[in-house]
Structure 1
Amino acid sequence: MELINEIPNLDLSASFNLKDRDNMTSFSNYKKQVPKKFYIFRIVLVASVGGFLFGYDGSVITGALPFLTEYFHLSATGQGVAVSSAALGAIVGPLGSLKFAERIGRRKTMIVAVICFSVSAIGNALSITIWDFAFWRFVTGIGVGLAMISSPIYIAELSPPKIRGQMVNMNQLSNVLGILLAVIASYFFSFSGWGWRWMFGSEVIPSVLLAVGLIFIPESPIWLSVHGRFKEALYILTKINGVSQAQNELHAIKTEIVKERDTSAELLQPGFKRALIVAIILMIFSQINGVNMMLTYAPTILADAGIKMGTNAILSSIPIFLFIFVCTIIAFYLIKHFSRRGLLITSVLFMAVGHVIMAINLQEHWPPLYTLIPMSIGAGAFTLGLAPLSWVIVSEIFPNSARGKGLAIVCFFLYLSSFITSLAFPILTHWFNSRFNNTSGVYWIFFCICIGCLIFSYKMIPETKGFTLDQIGEFWRAHSSGIRKNREGIPLVKRF
């Protein structure tokens, strides 16, 4: 247990048995290294593979759904199966990542995820029946589930505290880039009845490019430290933070590892159990709030509002996704200058407003293009707040050695709720439409859910901005003893 004293002073002149020696030509050059923001940005951009895969896959099914419905003669339940089968696979992904992310590392787990994604893309493109299609969508979900756990963990563990929120938001930016590329691909492939096959087949191209990029990025320094590979961890930390800060960071990591030897028991202690429950509920709200469903079923919703099915519906959804992209860029500034809690609460409030306007729009039968207004309000608010911050907060909230297990448990519930919502949404809209001749009731339900999320965020979400991962872990440890301050004596929960 005397882990801190195992290597009290690392000999920097010793040889580094590293696979990622990039740009380290001599020890003298190594010692002169200073923090490099571009180096971090480049790594994080590649590592946000999980967000890209999630966005691309979600938008491909969005564009393909009208054609799948026609080709496979799908009912409302069949549409739910086609969409939700990926979410069902994503439930399995986190369970697999309990072994993968901790045993083989964050980077290799992301590579496995990309392989799953590539193989399933080909399977989806060649599907003969809806059940073939659902099976390969399930495999896609496994890959997405693996990536969406390993990517945020990796980014959070690699990023300095001052820019960690912005770097984790890169995952959301990659998500939006994936959405945009998929929408554009869907539009160009939508002029043929067989175009849906090319929509899914096109997923192979970005997958291969991402797999190549993942080969050249380093492993997480925290994962390396947990596995006793301190010299490699120090090298990576030095490239990120500079020599002196790297030594301090490594000492803090080693101290935290000593306190967190039994990771399963750690998560069940009062303070960390509370963190686990908070993280689970927050991520469930991020899936059942309704905005994801508006985006997933965008062409279908626009078609129901009076915009022609197929190509025109896909084209009409492009402004929404472009707006989301702009909001994602703005989110970098907001995350840097405002508190996590303040942004989260404001975001959920405007999402609730968007659902109210959508419900009234459908009740009053406003002109079809007016549907874009509440969709834009909800999607914009979601993208500026809840979408990135749910991942930022959850990736920060767990102790270092238990982060992989904690996030795997959280993502299990996340994708379970996503599966249920994706399956239920077309069934609910069909029921409301047949019973009341409009689907406004669905959005009143989503409004109530957003109000619940608003109250939860205000009461339960701690402020984590500006603190190291070790300080956040110390806060939850202190919280189990009834102390609401971190080791520096700074209260976290109510800080704005």
Structure 2
Amino acid sequence: MNVFVFLLSCVAALGGFLFGFDSGVINGTVGALQEAFGTSEVGSGFNVASMLLGCAAGAFFAGRIADWLGRRWALIVAAVCFGVSAWGSGIAGGSVEFVIYRLIGGIAVGGASIISPAYISEIAPAAVRGRLASLQQMAIVLGLFVAFLSNFLLAGVSGGASDPLWGFQTWQWMFWMELIPVVLFFLGLICIPESPRFLVARGKYEKAESVLARVDHPDDAPAKVEQIRGTLNAAHRPSLRDVRDTARKRIYPIVWVGILLAAFQQLVGINVIFYYGEVLWEAAGFTEENALLINVISGAINIGSTIVAILLVDRVGRKPLLVWGSAGMAVFLGLMALIFAGSEVDASGNLALTDMAGVFALLAANGYIICFAVTWGPVMWVLLGEMFPNQMRGAALSLAGLSQWATNFVVTITFPMLLSGIGLGGAYACYAFFALLSVFFAWKLIAETRGKTLEEMTGG
């Protein structure tokens, strides 16, 4: 593998790391924020989910901004937003101010979630594109793990997220820790070149050829530029209109597949574990300290599983991984639903799991995480970065990203309501149903893209 391509991919994947960190850091601060701001359960749920509204907006506009400014400059804008959000979330004095800063962070997360895998796909040779694009998911789970570990260590030093630490409350430091990778991301972006496919779209053929010569075989660069030119409409720059088949007066089917693919990744409820892990396991009868430790363990399992995905995605293919991952998730989610539904409730309203039931719940939860992390976690990002034709890639990614984050918002904000309404058992039965549905979606509608160049993708 070209070392230069790998380094470029790592820099772009730092956007995924910040995506994961920003998503996971809220996990250990939910109770402290509710206490600090005096919010209700609904208000606390909105504090957690508010970032996702920014994510939806960031994802929707990211593709269009990337088609306008370029992939590299769009990521630089995202890096600045990450920094503003990390600092502001820690200094917020109330829910309104906190939500504003989280929305800014959401715009950054949404933008990075779309542009980072697109950039990696556009600079990676076809033979290793799946593995390199999977670095995005690896970075996301590393970000989640580091956020969980940081929260656990900081709370361990101070005694709890609401306790004072170095002149401030611990939850504030939890947010400020993100500034370290933000600076690294910003500095890395200054050094990387623009995507060659964006350069061709802008008519900068010599620059595109120069980049392609460094990321692939130099002798193939001129022919590659001409091949990319052949997939672009020289009459106009890429725009949102490109997702519509004007002859048949409909949106191209491949765009609908991307929208549904992004939605199903969230409908299986994975981010309930990552956003509400502490709340979930405390509701299941674990202490705050043990709940935070479980988050760290789950994060480590997520990392190991993603390494397996990187090894498999270019060998097994995208479609088989999605089908088998959906089936596995449906089984483990169903087991969790049965365990939670069959457990008694104590006087405080929390589940009173027996020791054996607690062990089985943890095993099922981690089995579910493994199934997700080996398959749907990375494969969705790989497919979104490569499945669309060059002309519509930015616009189609905008719509798929909007779908992903809007669904994420709905799932996240409804979990506290499901928890108080139908309980953990009912909530996980819903997620199991969508996992089962995604088996048929992946089997019937997903086309294999392994080994194909981006120029071979069609919008039919």
Superposition TM-score, scaled by structure 2 size: 0.91
Q: CA deviation at 1:405?
A: 1.2
Match for 1:244: what amino acid? D
* Cα distance per residue 1:135-194 (max 9 Å; x no partner): 111111011111112111101111111111111100001111111111111112222422
**Of 303, 313, 320, which aligns to 2:298?**
320
Q: CA deviation at 1:333?
A: 1.0
Farther-moved stretch of structure 1 (221-230 vs 266-275): 266-275
Query: Partner residue of 1:288?
Result: 267
1:401 aligns with 2:391: yes
In the alignment, the residues of structure 2 paired with residue 466 and residue 95 of structure 1 have an alpha-carbon distance, to the nearest angstrom, of: 28
Farther-moved stretch of structure 1 (262-271 vs 76-85): 262-271
Q: CA deviation at 1:295?
A: 2.2
**Of 441, 452, 466, which aligns to 2:426?**
441
* Cα distance per residue 1:259-285 (max 9 Å; x no partner): 785744432126971010000001001
Match for 2:220: what amino acid? Q
Task: Tell me if structure 2 keeps the 8 A contact 1:120–1:139.
Answer: yes
In the alignment, the residues of structure 1 paired with residue 235 and residue 311 of structure 2 have an alpha-carbon distance, to the nearest angstrom, of: 34
1:345 aligns with 2:315: no
* Cα distance per residue 1:313-339 (max 9 Å; x no partner): 211221111011000111111112102
Query: Partner residue of 1:23?
Result: none
Task: Tell me if structure 1 keeps the 8 A contact 2:11–2:188.
Answer: yes
Distance 1:105 1:262, change over 3 A: closer
* Cα distance per residue 1:382-440 (max 9 Å; x no partner): 1100111111111111111321111011111211111111111111111123xxxxx20
Specify the SS of the correspondent of 2:447: coil
1:242 aligns with 2:217: yes
Query: Partner residue of 1:329?
Result: 307
- Within 5 Å, which residues of 2 pair with 1:68-467? 68-190=33-155, 191-192=159-160, 193=162, 194-258=169-233, 261=236, 263=238, 264-269=240-245, 273-309=252-288, 311-365=289-343, 366-367=354-355, 368-433=358-423, 439-467=424-452
Q: CA deviation at 1:229?
A: 0.6
Question: Any gaps of 5 or more consecutive residues in structure 1?
Answer: 1-35, 434-438, 480-496
Specify the SS of the correspondent of 2:302: helix
Farther-moved stretch of structure 1 (88-97 vs 266-275): 266-275
Distance 1:421 1:140, change over 3 A: same
In the alignment, the residues of structure 1 paired with residue 84 and residue 60 of structure 2 have an alpha-carbon distance, to the nearest angstrom, of: 20
Distance 1:398 1:259, change over 3 A: farther
Specify the SS of the correspondent of 2:72: helix
In the alignment, the residues of structure 2 paired with residue 450 and residue 74 of structure 1 have an alpha-carbon distance, to the nearest angstrom, of: 33
Distance 1:453 1:259, change over 3 A: farther
Specify the SS of the correspondent of 1:257: coil
In the alignment, the residues of structure 1 paired with residue 291 and residue 371 of structure 2 have an alpha-carbon distance, to the nearest angstrom, of: 23
In the alignment, the residues of structure 2 paired with residue 358 and residue 74 of structure 1 have an alpha-carbon distance, to the nearest angstrom, of: 30
In the alignment, the residues of structure 1 paired with residue 431 and residue 61 of structure 2 have an alpha-carbon distance, to the nearest angstrom, of: 31
In the alignment, the residues of structure 2 paired with residue 362 and residue 146 of structure 1 have an alpha-carbon distance, to the nearest angstrom, of: 36
Q: CA deviation at 1:248?
A: 2.5
Distance 1:181 1:260, change over 3 A: farther
Match for 1:314: what amino acid? L
Specify the SS of the correspondent of 1:336: coil
In the alignment, the residues of structure 1 paired with residue 61 and residue 438 of structure 2 have an alpha-carbon distance, to the nearest angstrom, of: 29
Match for 1:211: what amino acid? F
Q: How many residues align?
A: 434
In the alignment, the residues of structure 2 paired with residue 238 and residue 98 of structure 1 have an alpha-carbon distance, to the nearest angstrom, of: 25
Match for 1:274: what amino acid? P
Specify the SS of the correspondent of 1:109: helix
Match for 1:432: what amino acid? I
Distance 1:380 1:340, change over 3 A: same
Query: Partner residue of 1:46?
Result: 11
Farther-moved stretch of structure 1 (165-174 vs 410-419): 410-419
Distance 1:155 1:65, change over 3 A: same
Question: Any gaps of 5 or more consecutive residues in structure 2?
Answer: 163-168, 344-353
- Within 5 Å, which residues of 2 pair with 1:478-489? 479=460
Query: Partner residue of 2:350?
Result: none
Identity %: 30
Query: Partner residue of 2:351?
Result: none
Distance 1:56 1:391, change over 3 A: same
In the alignment, the residues of structure 2 paired with residue 297 and residue 321 of structure 1 have an alpha-carbon distance, to the nearest angstrom, of: 13
In the alignment, the residues of structure 2 paired with residue 272 and residue 219 of structure 1 have an alpha-carbon distance, to the nearest angstrom, of: 29
Superposition TM-score, scaled by structure 1 size: 0.84
Distance 1:283 1:454, change over 3 A: same
In the alignment, the residues of structure 2 paired with residue 111 and residue 445 of structure 1 have an alpha-carbon distance, to the nearest angstrom, of: 38
Match for 1:172: what amino acid? Q
In the alignment, the residues of structure 1 paired with residue 122 and residue 33 of structure 2 have an alpha-carbon distance, to the nearest angstrom, of: 40
Match for 1:328: what amino acid? T
Farther-moved stretch of structure 1 (279-288 vs 409-418): 409-418
In the alignment, the residues of structure 1 paired with residue 48 and residue 235 of structure 2 have an alpha-carbon distance, to the nearest angstrom, of: 39
Task: Tell me if structure 2 keeps the 8 A contact 1:305–1:371.
Answer: no
